[in-house]
Chain A
Amino acid sequence: QKEVEQDPGPLSVPEGAIVSLNCTYSNSAFQYFMWYRQYSRKGPELLMYTYSSGNKEDGRFTAQVDKSSKYISLFIRDSQPSDSATYLCAMSAQGGSEKLVFGKGTKLTVNP
């Protein structure tokens, strides 16, 4: 079993839709949870960073962590064509600056 599982999609939605992206993990030592966005031919860019369980909101983006279920989610409200990218979940046992374990990434396309 891989440490982090993420459905690679692809996911295609109309503009304005609510998008839900998810990851599950097996390592209970993970305490720090991140979502990165990666545009084609670019490096990953940090979107959201959360510690332990709970919700965090930033504009149109909401990150949720449920440590009891080993499940994390990213919600994108009012999706825009500019949100079209690959979304990677990442986790760490020791902090955001330490070794990150990534999911495979979910490729999202938002159609105008």
Chain B
Amino acid sequence: ETGVTQSPTHLIKTRGQQVTLRCSSQSGHNTVSWYQQALGQGPQFIFQYYREEENGRGNFPPRFSGLQFPNYSSELNVNALELDDSALYLCASSLDRGVGDTQYFGPGTRLTVL
């Protein structure tokens, strides 16, 4: 059984560009959440997808969007990049939306916006 994987590991973009980050959930997991972790801060919830539908969103502007595919892999898209978008982007998957369940995090994608 493989864990949560993310690609790419690192990415450098310039302000105004668009970026797509990818996540493969742990086998059998149907729920994926995305978090942004700025340097020296805890992760902040961006949004969650459950069975291909958005299920909750944090305090992030609409230029942050996502997709979950039938195989439960996921993408995070960020348009019109700003310098403050530089951060570690973490994907976390859960077996299901249950009160006893937990989230398993991937290693993250480090995005630098110049």
Contacts and interface: CB of A to CB of B under 8 A. Distances in A.
B66 interface: no
B24 interface: no
Contact of B103 (A42, A100, A101, A103): A100
Interface string B44-68: 1100100000001010000000000
Contact of B100 (A6, A41, A90, A95): A95
B25 interface: no
Question: Which of B42, B92, B99, B103: most chain A Cβ within 10 A?
Answer: B42
26 contacts: A32-B99, A34-B102, A42-B107, A43-B92, A43-B105, A43-B107, A43-B108, A44-B90, A46-B104, A49-B102, A88-B43, A90-B42, A95-B97, A95-B100, A96-B94, A97-B31, A97-B97, A97-B101, A100-B35, A100-B43, A100-B45, A100-B103, A102-B42, A103-B42, A104-B41, A105-B41
Given A42-B107, A46-B104, A97 B43 contact: no
Contact of B42 (A46, A51, A97, A104): A104
A36 B108 CA distance: 15
A60 to B, nearest CB: 20
A90 B45 CA distance: 11
Interface of A: 4, 6, 8, 32, 34, 36, 41-46, 49, 51, 88, 90, 94-105
Contacts, number: 74
A45 B105 contact: yes
A99 B44 contact: no
B85 interface: no
Contacts of B101: 95-97
B41 A98 contact: no
A95 B42 contact: no
B58 A99 contact: yes
